[in-house]
Every structure is written in structure tokens, then in C-alpha cells.
Amino acid sequence: MMKKLFFLFLLPLCLLSAELDSASLREQLTENVVQAEIPLLTPTPRLSLISRGVVWAFERYHYVHPKITPELLSAWYTNYFQLLDPSKIYFLQSDLEEFRGYEQMLCTKGVPNLDFAFVVYQRCLQRMREWAVYSFNAYDKPCDFSEEEYLELYDYPEDHDWPSNNAEREKLWRLRVKNTLLADQLTQEDMKNVKVAETEADGTRRAVYTPPPIRLRSQKAIVTVFQNRLKAEPMDVMGYFINSLAVILDPHTCYFVPRDKENFDIAMSLSLQGIGATLSTRDAYTVVVSLVPGGPAARDGRLRPGDRIVAVAQAPDQEPVDVVDMPLDKVVEKIRGQKGTSVYLTVMPEGVSTSYTLKLVRDEIKLKDAEAQSKVYQVDGKRVLCI
């Protein structure tokens, strides 16, 4: 299904100037995007063996008993591009045509062609860099909202195709930037109306939270997505490729790389061994969101929400590993561990530029908040079960 997003006429001519700190954003773009080295990932014999085993398991044990036919290979070929670029804003039609020779060679005698998977992933990183550079430049330019234009939105990737050429792709990019800038202007106007400090019942005035501009969040998100893709490991690329086949078999079939399998087991068992802290990423830092009541971190009492974990060590005499700018799942891997073992965190408290080392002994954490719950209510004399 296609949707159209209409760019409203707010004024006869509305020129939007950049209100952000362009210098700092430009520095971030240069360091994290333009100068970032795109790694040359290559498949290993171990990954080839794993992928061959997964495809064999699909053919033998999946309830549809799939056969590697030319039709399946064509679907797998297209689906891999869609998995890497579901919004269809990175690749061009020429990219798909350039690699078309691989289409009927994605799997030969049960062995998936990982060379194809890795070379396409490399192209995806190049296209993502192009989008990041374009969007940063476009966000800094005035935008004319007087022209009536539409941004076409789709519910499913299959409903539309990739841009046929650079001009078509640039138009799509321009409309996406324009939509973000318009949303930013509307939000900033709304915030002006509520920015006046509100008065409490006792006469005191409290400040109203003002979120960062939408365009700033969008620019940071583009950098974050690109950086996360840059940090993918060969195992991750193989996982993307195998899952682009799995989803063709049925929507509920997927392949877990070891890290995802561990997280799945934790979610199913509602139990893990660690320090009992929920973590997130803010800019380049791993930040504590909350503490699990009764967990090691909560019992210790020093770690608090908002604190930043900047390094992790497994022993007091070990050189701490810097985790600034490290993907969150990698940081979590270093902090989790067997019950009874210790982990040493270098922590920067919120609002403080100095750090300290915190030793925590890992323990088993029960995830009570994730448990399925039910309750029985009496409604008009009848018992109603709510799950």
C-alpha cells in the first residue's frame, strides 16, 4: 500500500535556516562518516561450513522442505538487498543489475555463496556513506516549503522498487530531508507555545522539557546506523545472508548468530548472569538506564541511572578495555559472565568528567518484569481473565 505525505503550505514562502551548531555536526560527519574506513570483510572456511549446515537443515527439517530452485534463488537474491535496505533508499537498480551474475549461483551443491553476500554488504556500506554525506549537506541548507510536493511512503518493501538512477535517488533523499525539516519546524513552533514555564499549585515555576531538534536527532541517527553497520563482524554478514533466505520459507523462520541465540535464551528463561543493570547507548557512551532490584549493582548502591560505563576489565590487574563508541551488544558481552565471577567497570557518574573503578560480583538475575502475568476481575458478576 502506498501513502503520500503532503508538504503543507505554512507560509507563502518559508525558508528554514539551520539553527544547529553546524561546526560540531560537520566535525562529527568528517570523523565518523567521511573519514571512517570501510572494512574489507571476507568469509572464512568456518562461516562457509556453518552456512552450509544451516541450508542443509532448512532442506531436511523445515516443514516446507524447500528445494534450491531457480525461483527460490531469484527470491533470495532480491530479498538480501531488501534485508540490507528495507526502505530502498541506499541501493540503485544498477547495483542489483551489476551483481545479477550471482543470482543463480547463490547456492551451489548446498554451499551458499558467501562471496556474494560480502561484496554486496561492502556496496551497502558505500551507499550508506553517500546518503549520510548528502543528508548532512542538505540539512544545512535553507528549504523552500512553498512548492507542493509529496513523499511516497509504503507499507511493504515489495510495494516499490529501488531508484533507477542517481537523479531519482537524490530526489527521494531530498524529499526525506525536506519532510524531516518540516516536522522539525512544526515541532519547534509547538514547543514555543508551551515553553513558558508552568506554575505549580504552590506558586513555584518549573521548566518545561525541550527535546532536541528533530533534524539533530535525525543526523545523529544516520551516523549511528552507519557506524553500527561498519562494526558488523563476518558472522553478522553471514547471518544477514542466511536470514534473507529463511524469511522466504515462512515469516517465523530465522537463523540466530551466537550472540542473538544467547539473548533469545535469556528472554525465554527470564534469567541471566550479570550485574543487574539495563544499559543503553547515548552518543558514544554506554549509559545505565535502570537497575534490577536485588541485583549486584543495586545491592552495591554506587551505580546509578545516567552513569556512563567507559571501560571494562575482568581482573584487577588487567588493562581495562575501552568501550566508548563500542556497539552495545559487545559491551554487554564483556559485562555478563558466570555467577560468582567479578567484573571491574570504569564509571563516569552523570554530570561528572572524572571516573572511578567499580568491582561487582556477577549473580543470577531474574527478569520478573518480563514474566507473563494474568489477573481475574469480577465484571457484572462474571469472572473475566485478563492476560
Q: Tell me the per-residue pLDDT of 168-193, one tens digit each, with 9 for 90 and over.
A: 999 999 999 888 888 877 777 766 66
In angstroms, rounded to a whole number, what is the distance separating the alpha carbons of residues 186 and 8?
10
Q: Indicate the pTM of the whole model.
A: 0.74
**Better-predicted residue by pLDDT, 27 or 55:** 55
pLDDT digits (tens, 9 = 90+) for 265-323: 766 666 678 888 888 877 678 899 988 888 899 999 999 999 999 999 999 888 888 88
What's residue 333's pLDDT?
86
What's residue 172's pLDDT?
94
pLDDT digits (tens, 9 = 90+) for 79-124: 999 999 999 999 999 999 999 999 999 999 999 999 999 999 999 9
Cell numbers at residue 206, please?
518549573
Answer whether residue 6 shows pLDDT above 80: no
Average pLDDT over residues 193-218: 59
In angstroms, rounded to a whole number, what is the distance separating the alpha carbons of residues 125 and 119?
10
What's residue 62's pLDDT?
93
What's residue 119's pLDDT?
96
Q: What percent of the chain has pLDDT over 90?
A: 40
Answer whether residue 69 shows pLDDT above 90: yes
- What letter would DSSP give residue 141? S
- Tell me which residue of 368, 322, 318 sits closest to 341, measured CA to CA: 318
Look over the chain and give the mean of its residue pLDDT values, rounded to a whole number: 82
**How confident is residue 43, by pLDDT bands cut at 50, 70 and 90?**
very high
In angstroms, rounded to a whole number, what is the distance separating the alpha carbons of residues 101 and 72?
15
What's residue 181's pLDDT?
84
In angstroms, rounded to a whole number, what is the distance separating the alpha carbons of residues 188 and 251?
40
Angle at 351 between CA 140 and CA 231, to 5 degrees: 55
Phi and psi dihedrals of 160, rounded to 5? Answer: -150, 175
**How confident is residue 374, by pLDDT bands cut at 50, 70 and 90?**
low
Cell numbers at residue 358, please?
567499580
Q: Give the H or E element holding residue 202.
A: none
Answer whether residue 204 shows pLDDT above 80: no
pLDDT digits (tens, 9 = 90+) for 324-369: 878 788 888 899 888 999 999 999 888 777 889 999 999 988 766 6
3-state secondary structure of 223: helix
